[in-house]
Chain A
Amino acid sequence: MMPVLNFGIHHQVFIPAVPPDWPGGFWWHWLFFTVVIIAFVLTMVMGAIYIERRGMGRMQSRLGPNRTGPFGLLQPVADAIKVLLKENIVPVKADKLVHWLAPVVAFAPALMLFAVIPFQDGALLADLNIGILYIVAISSVSTVGIFMAGWASSNKYSLLGAMRNVAAIVSYEMPLVLAIVGVVLIAGSLSLNRIVIAQDIPFILLQPLGFFLFFAAGCAEINRSPFDLMEADSEIVAGFHTEYSGMKFAMFYLVEYAEAIAIAAIITTLFLGGWRGPLLPPWLWFVTKVMAVFFTMVWTRTTLPRIRIDQLMALAWKFLLPLAVINLIITAIQVLASWPDTLPWTLVMIIVNFTILAVLVLLWSKFFFRLGWGRIEV
């Protein structure tokens, strides 16, 4: 075991999981993982773009891009080259500095999220013992960048999109965090690596409602369909990035997919057992699960229409939030009751939890809250 990195205070910031036994210790670890994360995110984004474009093509009874390289595998590269060669246009009345800064502000947090996500046991940049809090805090920083973009473009579509984005983030943070708390209660740790280690069975089985809530709120947080009304192309053209072109647009494009991958990675880590799995190497399990979650997002995008801004708000406050609170209470009772850790008991718990999910979702979607009911003035 390497000595614990201790900033001279009583509190341990980094928990050494599988220690990096390289010369240089911490700094080599830091450098290595920074490079790995950037390479990983960019590769995954390319994979995600490929999956999205091809998968969407298949679902829409067309072929999708298949001319660049074998099976169109080089399509993301072609996209990237195209977008890099485009002219960079800044509106005359734009706030130049903010307009320039916005993509950077939006992009940095998307990368930073990956710092605490374990790719396999201990393979992560910083095993913060407050990993989840870090994720919750960082994931909302992108909003600042998006609002900067919307404000600086001096375009009304951009501003509408940015306002919608802020409204959505403010509302959806709440169910998102409450959904996580259930997992934390069961795992007994805020460290993502510990949470994965605690998952002898994936938490989706013990926390189906939490998974459902987190997935919905996560989709809303990163503007994936059916909550993509911040960049609703049929309404407000492209939302906050209407006035962006060239590399700056590429950055936003990257943010969009990097955040989708990040949410997929967090879902994988919290609910799907992270890197754990039989036979295959852990990192491969991790990548497979992330891509499976991302594929579900592509699936919903091709299937569902978009909801309206007031319906989005109502969904957050009247549907997701009450369910998140109920989920938290039920989980707390279950944890306190501390059922025997044997297979039959676990099976019973799984069945009970899924029944609770079905009953609650049915109750809310059929009786307490209907999407079309009433209008709230924004």
Chain B
Amino acid sequence: MALKTEPFVLNMGPVHPSTHGVFRMRTTLDGEVVVDIEPIFGYLHRGVEKLAEQRTYTGIIPLTDRLDYISSMNNNLAYCLAVEKLAGIKVPERAEYLRVIMAELQRIAAFLIAVGAFLNDCGAFFTPFMYMFREREKIVDLLEMVSGQRLTYNYIRVGGVSQDIPEEFLPALRTFVAQMPGFIDEYDRLLMQNEILLARAKGVGILTREQAINCAASGPVLRASGVKWDIRQADPYSIYDRFEFDIPTGTVGDCYDRYRVRVAEMRQSLRIIQQAMTQLPPGPVKAAVPHLIRPPVGEAYAHLEAPKGELGFYLVSDNSIAPYRCHIRPPSLINLTALRDMVRGWKVADLIVIFGSIDITVGEIDR
């Protein structure tokens, strides 16, 4: 007797433990097998792009904090780069170095969350997550030292940074940079060669090189598919051309590669911080920028390598104190477009793992 089954629709989210925010997946399942999914978002829409049109150029920086709220520094930096390009502002040397240090610290913090949450999605009951939060806490302490905030820093400003680092910052940073490689080794020892993790992540949710390029994926998702593309080297912004670092890439493009690429990225970020720390010159940290910036009529696009991928800001100026148009290119949203191709045919449990391996932040998707 042939048993007939028919697919049913399951709404995963917007309130679900593993959707990393208020994100909804309208999944069609045949038993345990995912037939189709439809990502539905907009639950966190705040209209950041429209809000930006009514604020001064400086006043928009706090808005960018709230886009990808676990990598605020990178968002600040991307926006400030765009404004500086638009208004032709030159940033002092010391400020450039501080920006790089903060951005790379923020990268490590964001990867810690990404990897921890991914392992949590694989079913490791919060242990890796807690281990990684232990070190993220140290980074957050460092960033609190310079900015006074622990999540939305609002530290990087147009023409530099908001204030110079306190004198206790560099010794603390040195200790952190010295300790961190040991902790990364510890994360590797935790689960890297674990049979269950290999079975769950290896070969699961493969995104081929062609697919990754065609859907304009960026960041670790793209690099895990074997594409050596990092904006820090492909189109160096700030002072990234002065540092020496490698671009870790994967080979297959499965969940395991994406996880490994993120761990390897942490080490590279540490290398950059190490170099920036030793080269850090004295001097002013902020250019003389008027309080109300009026950039000349024109447009500018600046992008950088955020933890999730290419984060871009497109600004159009009409010579007033607020941008005529501010468009944000969020890496999470673009990377998410590959989800449907990756999960079809896999099981519900894989759906969560693949989704976790893309590493999205809903604040950025919905804007």
Chain B binder among A41-49, A88-96, A234-242, A325-333: A234-242
8 Å CB contact of A225 from B125, B199, B200, B203: B125
B343 to chain A, nearest CB (A): 13
Establish whether residues A305 and B33, one from each chain, have CB atoms under 8 Å apart when the complex forms.
Answer: no
Establish whether residues B199 and A311, one from each chain, have CB atoms under 8 Å apart when the complex forms.
Answer: yes
Establish whether residues A305 and B16, one from each chain, have CB atoms under 8 Å apart when the complex forms.
Answer: no
In the complex, whether B196 has a CB less than 8 A from a CB of chain A is yes
Residues in B187-243 with C-beta less than 8 Å from chain A: 191, 194-200, 202-203
Establish whether residues A235 and B203, one from each chain, have CB atoms under 8 Å apart when the complex forms.
Answer: no
In the complex, whether A371 has a CB less than 8 A from a CB of chain B is yes
8 Å CB contact of B352 from A56, A234, A303, A378: A234
8 Å CB contact of A160 from B17, B195, B348, B352: B348
Establish whether residues A378 and B31, one from each chain, have CB atoms under 8 Å apart when the complex forms.
Answer: yes
In the complex, the chain B residue whose C-beta lies closest to that of A232 is: B123
Q: How far is the CA of A365 from the CA of B195 in the complex (A)?
A: 9
Using known A-B contacts A307-B200, A371-B198, determine if residue A233 contacts B17 with beta carbons closer than 8 Å. yes
8 Å CB contact of B134 from A61, A225, A302, A304: A61
Using known A-B contacts A61-B131, A304-B124, determine if residue A377 contacts B199 with beta carbons closer than 8 Å. no
A307 contacts across to B, CB distance below 8 A: 123, 196, 199-200
B126 contacts across to A, CB distance below 8 A: 60, 302
Establish whether residues A305 and B119, one from each chain, have CB atoms under 8 Å apart when the complex forms.
Answer: yes
A232 to chain B, nearest CB (A): 6
Q: How far is the CA of A372 from the CA of B134 in the complex (A)?
A: 31
8 Å CB contact of A60 from B31, B121, B130, B348: B130
B200 contacts across to A, CB distance below 8 A: 305-308, 311
Establish whether residues A308 and B349, one from each chain, have CB atoms under 8 Å apart when the complex forms.
Answer: yes
Establish whether residues B349 and A305, one from each chain, have CB atoms under 8 Å apart when the complex forms.
Answer: no
Interface contact tally, CB-CB below 8 A = 99
Establish whether residues A305 and B122, one from each chain, have CB atoms under 8 Å apart when the complex forms.
Answer: yes
In the complex, whether A118 has a CB less than 8 A from a CB of chain B is no
Using known A-B contacts A235-B18, A237-B17, determine if residue A305 contacts B196 with beta carbons closer than 8 Å. yes
User: 1/0 contact trace for A282-321 toward B, CB 8 Å?
Assistant: 0000000000000000000111111111110000000000
Indicate the member of B17, B123, B126, B198 with the most A CB atoms within 10 Å: B123
B190 to chain A, nearest CB (A): 8
B127 contacts across to A, CB distance below 8 A: 59-60, 302-303
User: 1/0 contact trace for B107-150 toward A, CB 8 Å?
Assistant: 00000000000011111111100110010000000000000000
User: 1/0 contact trace for A110-126 toward B, CB 8 Å?
Assistant: 00000000000000000
Establish whether residues A305 and B124, one from each chain, have CB atoms under 8 Å apart when the complex forms.
Answer: yes
In the complex, whether A62 has a CB less than 8 A from a CB of chain B is yes
In the complex, whether B325 has a CB less than 8 A from a CB of chain A is no
In the complex, whether A229 has a CB less than 8 A from a CB of chain B is yes
A109 contacts across to B, CB distance below 8 A: none
In the complex, whether A156 has a CB less than 8 A from a CB of chain B is yes
A167 to chain B, nearest CB (A): 10
Q: How far is the CA of A237 from the CA of B119 in the complex (A)?
A: 16
Q: How far is the CA of A203 from the CA of B121 in the complex (A)?
A: 38
A235 contacts across to B, CB distance below 8 A: 18, 123, 348-349, 352
Establish whether residues A371 and B196, one from each chain, have CB atoms under 8 Å apart when the complex forms.
Answer: yes
B77 to chain A, nearest CB (A): 31
A236 contacts across to B, CB distance below 8 A: 348
Residues in A32-69 with C-beta less than 8 Å from chain B: 56, 59-62
Q: How far is the CA of A298 from the CA of B130 in the complex (A)?
A: 16
Establish whether residues B32 and A378, one from each chain, have CB atoms under 8 Å apart when the complex forms.
Answer: yes
Chain A count of residues within 8 A CB distance of the other chain:
37
In the complex, the chain B residue whose C-beta lies closest to that of A306 is: B123
B194 to chain A, nearest CB (A): 7
A5 to chain B, nearest CB (A): 46
Indicate the member of B8, B121, B125 with the most A CB atoms within 10 Å: B125
In the complex, the chain B residue whose C-beta lies closest to that of A233 is: B17
A306 contacts across to B, CB distance below 8 A: 122-124, 196, 200, 349
Residues in B14-48 with C-beta less than 8 Å from chain A: 16-18, 31-33
Establish whether residues B194 and A304, one from each chain, have CB atoms under 8 Å apart when the complex forms.
Answer: yes
Establish whether residues B31 and A234, one from each chain, have CB atoms under 8 Å apart when the complex forms.
Answer: no
B18 contacts across to A, CB distance below 8 A: 234-235
User: 1/0 contact trace for A145-179 toward B, CB 8 Å?
Assistant: 00000000000110010011000000000000000
B121 contacts across to A, CB distance below 8 A: 234
B114 to chain A, nearest CB (A): 15
In the complex, whether A226 has a CB less than 8 A from a CB of chain B is yes
In the complex, the chain B residue whose C-beta lies closest to that of A59 is: B127
Q: How far is the CA of A58 from the CA of B122 in the complex (A)?
A: 21
Establish whether residues B195 and A371, one from each chain, have CB atoms under 8 Å apart when the complex forms.
Answer: yes
Q: How far is the CA of A302 from the CA of B125 in the complex (A)?
A: 5
Using known A-B contacts A61-B131, A371-B199, determine if residue A225 contacts B123 with beta carbons closer than 8 Å. yes
Establish whether residues B199 and A372, one from each chain, have CB atoms under 8 Å apart when the complex forms.
Answer: yes
Establish whether residues B130 and A62, one from each chain, have CB atoms under 8 Å apart when the complex forms.
Answer: yes
8 Å CB contact of B349 from A156, A225, A232, A370: A232
Q: How far is the CA of A228 from the CA of B18 in the complex (A)?
A: 16
Q: How far is the CA of A377 from the CA of B35 in the complex (A)?
A: 13
Establish whether residues B347 and A60, one from each chain, have CB atoms under 8 Å apart when the complex forms.
Answer: no
Q: How far is the CA of A370 from the CA of B121 in the complex (A)?
A: 22
A304 contacts across to B, CB distance below 8 A: 123-124, 194, 196
In the complex, the chain B residue whose C-beta lies closest to that of A307 is: B196
In the complex, whether B104 has a CB less than 8 A from a CB of chain A is no
Q: How far is the CA of A311 from the CA of B347 in the complex (A)?
A: 11
Establish whether residues A377 and B33, one from each chain, have CB atoms under 8 Å apart when the complex forms.
Answer: yes
Establish whether residues B123 and A226, one from each chain, have CB atoms under 8 Å apart when the complex forms.
Answer: yes
8 Å CB contact of A309 from B120, B134, B347: B347
In the complex, whether B350 has a CB less than 8 A from a CB of chain A is yes
Establish whether residues B125 and A301, one from each chain, have CB atoms under 8 Å apart when the complex forms.
Answer: yes
In the complex, whether B10 has a CB less than 8 A from a CB of chain A is yes
Establish whether residues B198 and A372, one from each chain, have CB atoms under 8 Å apart when the complex forms.
Answer: yes
B188 to chain A, nearest CB (A): 15
Establish whether residues A156 and B125, one from each chain, have CB atoms under 8 Å apart when the complex forms.
Answer: no
User: 1/0 contact trace for B241-282 toward A, CB 8 Å?
Assistant: 000000000000000000000000000000000000000000
In the complex, the chain B residue whose C-beta lies closest to that of A238 is: B17
Instruction: Please give me the 9 A-B residue pairs with the lowest Cβ-Cβ distance, nearest first.
Output: A306-B123, A371-B199, A372-B199, A60-B130, A305-B122, A234-B18, A305-B124, A305-B123, A308-B349
Q: Show the binding face of B for A, using Cβ within 8 Å.
A: 8, 10, 16-18, 31-33, 119-127, 130-131, 134, 191, 194-200, 202-203, 347-350, 352
List 20 contacting pairs A-B, 8 Å CB cutoff, sorted by A: A60-B130, A61-B131, A225-B125, A228-B123, A233-B17, A234-B120, A235-B18, A235-B349, A301-B125, A302-B125, A302-B127, A304-B123, A304-B194, A306-B123, A306-B349, A308-B349, A310-B32, A372-B198, A372-B199, A378-B347
